[in-house]
Amino acid sequence: MLQDVKGRRVLVRADLNVPLDGDVITDDGRIRASLPTIKALQEQGAKVIVCAHLGRPKGEPNPKYSLAPVARRLRELLGGQVAFASDTVGPEAEAVVDELHDGQVALLENLRYNPGEESKDEAVRQAFARELAGLAELYVGDGFGAVHRKHASVYDVPKLLPHTMGGLVKAEVEVLKKLTESPERPYVVVLGGAKVSDKLGVIANLLTKVDRLLIGGGMAYTFLKAQGHEVGRSLLQEDQLDQVRGFLNEAVKRGVELVLPVDVLAATHFAEDAEYEVVAADAIPADREGLDIGPRTRELFASKLSDARTVFWNGPMGVFEFEAFAGGTRAVAEALIRSEAYTVVGGGDSAAAVRKLGLPEDGFSHISTGGGASLEYLEGKTLPGLAALED
């Protein structure tokens, strides 16, 4: 953390990109994860200016993506006043910042309301960064969920101000180093979620590092199809079949145990109340779609996790938002909780599932706040936001 911040304006780039139902926050995990850094700066007497994005408003104000509900929740969690500026770098932001006293907190409106935040034009992006940096004297990068983006608030602002990593980003980087540099073995990775294409790079890289790779969720059906099995109307990426066959061959070549579902819940259609039956993974009826891994697969995956010393899990095993199809995701999560391994939940839908299913967050060694950032780090990519903070 920065030293001598008393009385100084500190811009904190947080990750407050929470899910909303109207203006109701349905999961405040990312807000709570940002609190330690904000509180530490408050206690040191800084004037704390928090900035963040929410959703994809595409460079213009949209009430649907306002951070106003986040400001309300921050007030509740901090137990005190949090000023809210209804713009990012305009007159109100300047006025709100000018009125801050030592130890007080302000939140700026959604950074992505300004086209400069995400602009591919460096001049446009840097112009916005200069205005944002002009509000503060120091910068703390604490939005891990955004460090894989080359955005103004993440990449350009730290080049303009004395800067440091916030506690959340430091903790995330330490965890990812454990996973990539010297993991205790057996090292098992569980991947789920909808699309293989979202995880091509990370699968390719993990095949050089892990002992065992368990594949569930919607992406499993592309693997099953690549083995020549009927997958009915299940989620399928036909254009990825050759790539997946390559992964299957590479796993054999490297001695990596690649484990696929052996049974699934095959539903008549995609709905919470859809009729379904348990069928073998190589015998999915042509008129049905797999919405979760089946009971034998749950047992199989749990057994493949039982001797692990390091586990990384990213992506649900089924449509966990529907109670009938949440059992696979719950089974994997509970196997991790029982495990004596170092267990990391890789952000995004996996973290949301843990909270939605009412599972104890302290049952895991670490729950990441950044799904995409975690995956790109594990893929071996340079993350622009981290590179800027390390300069």
To the query of whether residue 30 is one of the catalytic residues in this protein, the response is: yes
12/236 Cα distance (integer angstroms): 41
To the query of whether residue 120 is one of the catalytic residues in this protein, the response is: no
To the query of whether residue 195 is one of the catalytic residues in this protein, the response is: yes
Q: Residue 235 has what DSSP assignment?
A: -
Please tell me which residue in 294, 371, 372, 385 is annotated as part of the active site: 372
What stretches of the chain adopt beta strand conformation (E)? Answer: 9-13, 20-21, 24-25, 47-51, 82-85, 105-108, 138-141, 163-165, 187-191, 212-215, 257-259, 263-267, 276-280, 289-293, 310-314, 342-345, 366-367
Q: For CA atoms 11, 16, 21, 24, give the dihedral sign.
A: negative
Confirm if 281 and 262 have CB atoms less than 8 A apart: yes
Task: Give the annotated binding-site residues for substrate.
Answer: 15-17, 30, 53-56, 112, 149
Nearest to 211 by CA among 175, 192, 184, 193: 184
Cβ burial of 94 (10 Å; 0-12, 13-18, 19+) is middle
To the query of whether residue 348 is one of the catalytic residues in this protein, the response is: yes
| Residues linked to residue 214 through DSSP beta bridges, in sequence order | 190, 259
Task: Give the annotated binding-site residues.
Answer: 15-17, 30, 53-56, 112, 149, 199, 290, 321, 347-350
Cα angle: 236, vertex 241, 246; to 5 degrees: 140
Nearest to 320 by CA among 200, 216, 215: 216
Please tell me which residue in 216, 348, 370, 371 is annotated as part of the active site: 348
Task: Give the annotated binding-site residues for ATP.
Answer: 199, 290, 321, 347-350
Please tell me which residue in 13, 30, 288, 304 is annotated as part of the active site: 30
Please tell me which residue in 150, 195, 309, 381 is annotated as part of the active site: 195
Confirm if 311 and 341 have CB atoms less than 8 A apart: yes
Task: Give the annotated binding-site residues for (2R)-3-phosphoglycerate.
Answer: 30, 112, 149
CB atoms < 10 A from the CB of 36, how many?
14
Active centre residues (catalytic): 30, 195, 348, 372
